[in-house]
Structure 1
Amino acid sequence: MTTRTVLAGRINFDNAALKKDLAVLAGVPIIKEQYDEFSSGTWINHSIYNRTGEWSDTQYTDYDHPARRTQIGQATPYLCKIIEETFDVEHMRMARVRNLIKGQVIPHVDFLELSEKKDGYIRILIPLETCLDSYHTEEHFGVFRMRKGDIWILESTLPHGAHNLGHDNRRILSLDFQYTDEDVPHYSRIFRDKAAHDESHRPAMVARAKLEEEDLEDFLAMLATDFTDPFQAEAILVRLSELQLRFDSPVSDIYRNIVRVAKMTGRADLIEHCENMSRFYIGSRKLNERFMLRKDLLAA
C-alpha cells in the first residue's frame, strides 16, 4: 500500500486571501449532509469541486472525468488557485472544506462502498483553520495533530477518525484523487507543483499512556450499566473514542470494545446493533447504505 499516512508537505497560505474565502464559506447555508451518520456534534461540509458541479452534491462516487468546480468554488478563488496550482486536478474527483466543531468524525474506513480497486484512491487533508483541541487518529499511525498548511496523505482504507474537543472552527480542505492507469500509484503523483512535496516536516504526534486491561474492564462495565437503548450506542462510541486519544490502542479497538459493552448487558438487540455498527463503519457497506446511529436519522 503506497498511500500510507504521511505528512507530505506544507503550504504557506496568504492569510488575507484565505480569510476572505473562509468568510464566504461561513455564509453558505448549511444543508443536510450525505454522510450524517459519520459525525457526532457539528460537522459542516462544503463542496468546492465534485462530479456534477452542484454545490449541494456532497456524495463521493466513482466516475472517470475531472471534478467540476461548484458555485462555492467560484466564490472561493484563492482556494481554487491553491488547488489548481499545487495538485493534479485531472485526477481529482472531489474537493471539500469540512468544518468540525465540538464533535468527532466517527471512526471509520473510507471507500468500502466503492470499487474493489482501493489502491487507486488517494485522499489528502490540509488544515485551513485549526485549534489546539483538534486531533486525528489512524489505526497504525496513532494520534496526531494536523497543523495549518500541513499536507497530509491519509491512509483512509484503514480505520481512522477526527476530533475537535473545543468550540472553535477546525476547517480542513479534503481532496480525493483516483488513479486507474496503474495498480499501485505512488502518492507523489498528486503533486503538480513538485516543490510542494516535502516530507522533511515533523508531524505533531500525541503521546499516550498504556491502558491496563483491568482498568479497561471496569470502564466498559460502567458503560454497560446504563446501556438500555440502541440509540445510546453513539454516546458510548464517543466516550470510547475519546479514551483512545489518551490511551495507546488502535482505532479498531473502539468497535471491539463497544461490542464488549453490549455483551455485558446480555441484550441480544444491543449486541446485534453494535456488531452491525462495527461492520458498517470499518467492515463492509454498500453504496447509499445508511446506519441509524441516531434517532434524528430515522427521517432520512
Structure 2
Amino acid sequence: MVTATRLVGRIKFDDTLLRKDLKVLSELPLLREQYDEFGSGTWINHSLWNRSGEWTDTQYSDYNYPAIRTQVGATTTYLSKIIEECFDVDHLRMARVRNLVNGLVIPHTDFLELSEEKDRYVRILIPLETCIDSYHTEEKFGVFRMRKGDIWILESTLPHGALNFASDNRRILSLDFQYADIPAPHYSLIFKDHSIRDEAIPPALVSRTQLEPEDLHDYLEQLSTSFNDKDDAEHILVKLSKVHLRFESPVSDIYKNLTKVAKMTQRQDLVEHCEKMQKFYIGSRVMNERFPLRKGIC
C-alpha cells in the first residue's frame, strides 16, 4: 500500500452540525488515556468506533472485523454520518477524535507493537477544529499545518509528532483502516465517496532554516545545565521539539539530541533513560508496554 504522508482531499463540514458534536465531546468526563505517555500537556482522545463498541476502550489492536460504533459514536451523529457516507467502514478499525491543547504529541512511531505487516495499515487525519499555532511533523515530509477539513494520509510507521502552542482546541478525527484481505491494496480504497478525494490541494508546509552545528551545540549545553533527573527529560524533549519546528532536521534527531544533552551531564543513568525513550517511542516495543512520564506542559 502506498501510504506516504500526503494531503489527499477535503471535506466541507456543516459547521452547525459539527459544533453540536464537538459540544458533546467537550462535555464528556475525562478518562485516563491508554496512550497517555505519548502526550505532554492536554491530550484527550475519544473513541467513536473501535473493536468493542465501548467508548472507554482507547487501545488500538489487531482484529479482523469492522469497527463497532461506541456510545460516543452513537451520540455524535454528524461525525458518524461522515464516517459511514465517506469512508470504507468494512475495513475501519478505529475512529477517534483527538484534542491537543497547549501540548505535544511526543514524537513516536505507530504500530511497532502490532504483529501484522505494516503496509496493511493506513491512518488518515481530518482536522475538525484547529488553530494557527498547531503543527504536525513527519520524518520525511517535514513540518506542516493541517487545515480544517483536510484529509491527510499519515505515514505513521515513520517517526512523527504534533504540537499546539495555543490554549485553543486542536481536534482531529483519526481513522485507522486495515487491509489484510486485499493483495497490494492502494490507499484510495478508504474512500466510499470519491468526490472528497483531491490530491491537487496544496499542503500548508512550514518553511524551516538550517541550524549551524555550533549553535546547536551551544543550545544542547544550555539544556544540559537543567537536566538534573529523569523527570526533566520530558521538558527537554518538548524544547527540542520546538527547535525542530524552526530548523531543518528529521524528527528522529530530537531523540539523538536528547541523548547528547544527557551525555553532557556525565550522568550514565540519564543517558540510559534517554536511550530507553528513543527505543520505546521510535525503535521497538511490545503490546501493553508502558513508559511512564511525568506530565509536563509546553
TM-score, normalization by structure 2: 0.98
TM alignment of 1:167-206, pairs within 5 A: 167-206=167-206
In structure 1, what is the Cα distance between the partners aligned to 2:277 and 2:76?
37
Aligned match of 1:63: 63
Does the CA-based 8 Å contact 2:47-2:58 persist in structure 1? yes
In structure 1, what is the Cα distance between the partners aligned to 2:179 and 2:295?
38
- Matched residue SS, 2:28: coil
CA deviation after TM superposition for structure 1 residue 292, in Å? 2.2
Moved more, 272-281 or 173-182: 173-182
The one-letter amino acid of 1:185's match is P
CA deviation after TM superposition for structure 1 residue 194, in Å? 1.6
Aligned match of 2:72: 72
Aligned match of 1:51: 51
In structure 1, what is the Cα distance between the partners aligned to 2:186 and 2:225?
48
- Stretches (4+) displaced over 6 A: none
Stretches of structure 2 that go unaligned for 5 or more consecutive residues are: none
Does the CA-based 8 Å contact 2:208-2:248 persist in structure 1? yes
Stretches of structure 1 that go unaligned for 5 or more consecutive residues are: none
In structure 1, what is the Cα distance between the partners aligned to 2:231 and 2:183?
41
Over aligned residue pairs, what C-alpha RMSD do you find?
A: 1.1
Note if 1:8 corresponds to 2:30.
no
The one-letter amino acid of 2:153's match is I
In structure 2, what is the Cα distance between the partners aligned to 1:134 and 1:4?
21
Does the CA-based 8 Å contact 1:73-1:80 persist in structure 2? yes
Q: When the two structures are aligned, how many residues end up with a matched partner? A: 296
Aligned match of 1:249: 249
TM alignment of 1:160-239, pairs within 5 A: 160-239=160-239
CA deviations over 1:78-121 (Å, ceiling 9, x no partner): 00000100000000000000000000100000000001400001
Aligned match of 1:113: 113
Aligned match of 1:289: 289
- Matched residue SS, 1:230: coil
The one-letter amino acid of 1:199's match is E
The one-letter amino acid of 2:281's match is Y
In structure 1, what is the Cα distance between the partners aligned to 2:280 and 2:182?
29
Aligned match of 1:258: 258
Does the CA-based 8 Å contact 2:47-2:73 persist in structure 1? yes
Moved more, 141-150 or 112-121: 112-121
Q: Identity across aligned pairs (percent)?
A: 68
Aligned match of 1:153: 153
Aligned match of 1:26: 26
The one-letter amino acid of 2:158's match is L
CA deviation after TM superposition for structure 1 residue 186, in Å? 1.4
- Matched residue SS, 1:9: strand
Cα separation, partners in 2 of 1:191 and 1:295, compared to 1, 3 Å: closer
CA deviations over 1:37-90 (Å, ceiling 9, x no partner): 000000010000000000000000000100000000110100000010000000
Note if 1:127 corresponds to 2:131.
no
TM-score, normalization by structure 1: 0.97
The one-letter amino acid of 1:135's match is Y
In structure 2, what is the Cα distance between the partners aligned to 1:205 and 1:88?
28
In structure 1, what is the Cα distance between the partners aligned to 2:157 and 2:25?
29
